[in-house]
Amino acid sequence: MPRPSLRGQVPLLILFAVAAVVALYPLALSLSHASTYGLFRVPIASWVVLGLSALLLALDGAAIHAWWLGRKGRAALVETGQALDQATRELAALKADLLSDQLPAISGQEHLGRVEYGAILQALFRAVPDAGYIRVEPLSGGYSGNATVLATLGDRLGQRMLPRPFVVKLGDRREMAGEKDKYAEFVLPALSRKPGIVGYAEWGDLAGIAYEFASQGRHAQVQSLHQFYQGHAPAEVVKLIGESLAYLGEAWYQAGAAAEADLYQEYDLLHQKRQPIIEAAWRILEPGDGYSGELAAAEGDLRPLLRPAFCPDPELPWYDPIAFLRTWRRRSLTTDIHRSVVHGDLNARNILVETDQAGERRVWFIDFSHTGNGLSQQRTAEAMDKGVPVEQRRGHTLRDFARLEAECKFMLTRLNHEKDLRVAVAFERALLAAGLTLPAAPELPAAVLPLFDERFERLWQAIGEIRRRAAHYLIQEGDLRPYWMSLVQATLPVLYYQSAQFASEASERQQKRYALLAAGMLCARL
């Protein structure tokens, strides 16, 4: 910053000089004629003039003094500002040096998906002693656009791996903050075998949470159920699913109780998602499919029995789920349901399987942003603002079971072509006929029996275990509508899942078609 200059203040100095001349002139005139008139015999008016001149002279002097002090003060401020600027530059340089020394490097940045996630990851582990680098490995993430990765720390010399693997979830800041709050409220008091939150960091509208699992060692292998499902025998998958649901049952479900609820109010969020569901349904239709008119029809022109052209079964029990959603608010179904704390998003990517060197497996859970009543904090607040009745701490217990079943059917079972879709539709009809107690094998039409392969055998066994345990939380025996409604709520959002969640474009198309047809069968039951 430049020092203050006198050049810009010349007019002010001239004003001071003129004021001084004006003040001194009457005094000088009086003194020069004092011998002629006598200084003490002048009229009273002359004394007034002399007094005013003296006052003006005093004020002019005071103004000059104040100006001089102000100029010195401004000069001091300029010097102080220059010193502060220099100190700020030195501090910024020092901070940059410290950051470059302390922030661990990242290996596997491409698995994060966003550049900002790298900064969050470094902030999470900056305080870990001896952490020199972070090795990032993919760990199948959820369906909301968040990223979930396995982070392993290495020392600064790169000679050994620190025996501390972490699972890191990265995503929207509000959702991450809500998850941290719900972890403290529902997970800490109830889950005996729980992950610990070892770090939380924010970056603009994004944030990250680092979880550590108490029993993990250097050589432990961590997979999501999404990864485990494909690489292990059906019996192992069934056992793991059973252990997961039993563990949550002891922690949360068994502490619940029966309560009366209107299922359409309970799952009103599905109605709020109708527009993205309708838009996604357009994209899986064949050109010229008459069903497309149903998606844009006025409510009075809906034809709920009209099936999409890709439906392989002309006798399929069907009620159009799009028409079902669009007339949602005119429906009511009040019945007794089981309420408890629920995970809220129990998909296969939020169930982690840790396998140690001895082959022992432990199940862990992550992503608690919907834990409690099954809704996020934001969704709960929005529902209450709209006057929708919401239980703030407990949700419909069957929500978790239906969510896991939908995951197994539409995300873990790959369909590649139309023949697979034909088997899947026959499979779904067998599931509906069996209810919650599945026989050892499904009853399928002879035409599709040869196509019933290991994928569907595995799926049948997995769903059998899920429904067997779900039956314990059905209040009115024989009334399966609470479970069917939970399944509708878990099924239709599959239509707008991102393409990256599917193995191929063909698989995405067939699996989303399966979801739409399965939802239509469920709506027919309801």
CA–CA distance, 128 with 131 (Å, rounded to integer): 6
Work out the angle between the directed axes of helices 454-470 and 234-251 (0-180°, nearest 10): 20
Which parts of 144-266 are beta strand (E)? 147-155, 161-172, 196-203, 206-212, 221-224, 257-262
Q: What is the mean pLDDT of residues 117-124?
A: 90
CB 436 within 8 A of CB 483: yes
Tell me what pLDDT residue 322 has: 97
The CA-atom distances, in angstroms, between 63 and each of 37, 49, 57, 374 are 34, 21, 10, 74
Q: Using CB atoms within 10 Å of the CB of residue 428, give its burial: 0 to 12 exposed, 13 to 18 middle, 19+ buried.
A: buried
Q: Both ends of the chain: CA-CA distance in Å?
A: 77
User: What sign does the dihedral 267-269-275-276 (CA atoms) show?
Assistant: negative
The model's pTM is 0.78
| Token pair 């697979």 in the structure block, residue | 420
Give CA–CA dist 435/272, Å, rounded: 28
Mean pLDDT of 55-83: 67
pLDDT reported for residue 20: 62
**Higher-confidence position of 140 and 386:** 386
Give the residue carrying structure tokens 């049952």. Answer: 249
Question: Comparing 41 with 59, which gets the higher pLDDT?
Answer: 59
pLDDT band at 109 (very low <50, low <70, confident <90, very high): confident
Q: Where are the beta strands (DSSP E) in 72-118?
A: 105-107
Q: Which residue has the higher pLDDT, 138 or 309?
A: 309
CA atoms of 155 and 307, how far apart (whole Å): 60
Q: What is the pLDDT of residue 375?
A: 94
Residue 474 makes CB contacts below 8 A (sequence gap 6+) with 338, 398, 436, 480, 482, 483
- Of 87-101, 275-289, 312-326, 416-430, the one with minimum mean pLDDT is 87-101
For the cut 60, the answer to whether the pLDDT of residue 198 exceeds it is: yes
For residue range 136-170, list pLDDT tens digits in order.
888 765 566 688 888 888 876 665 556 667 889 99
If pLDDT is split at 50, 70 and 90, which confidence band does 419 have?
very high
pLDDT score recorded for residue 200: 94
Question: At residue 55, does pLDDT exceed 70?
Answer: no
Which tens digit of pLDDT belongs to each residue from 205-240?
999 999 987 655 556 788 889 989 988 999 999 999
**Mean pLDDT of the 376-392 span:** 89
Phi first, then psi, for residue 316 (nearest 5°) are -60, 125
pLDDT at 99 over 60: no
Angstrom distance (rounded) from CA 523 to CA 324: 7
Q: How far apart are CA 19 and CA 59, in angstroms?
A: 9
CA distances (Å), origin 396, targets 252, 259, 306:
12, 9, 31
Q: What is the pLDDT of residue 194?
A: 79
For 210-245, give the DSSP string.
EEE-TT--TT-EEEEHHHHHHHS-HHHHHHHHHHHH
Report the length, in residues, of the chain: 526
Query: What integer pLDDT is reported at residue 66 of this predicted model?
Result: 67
pLDDT (tens digit per residue) in 259-307:
999 999 999 999 999 999 999 999 999 999 999 999 999 888 999 999 9
Phi and psi, residue 473, nearest 5°: -115, 20
Average pLDDT score, the chain: 85
Question: pLDDT value at position 94?
Answer: 45
Residues 469/383, Cβ–Cβ less than 8 Å:
no
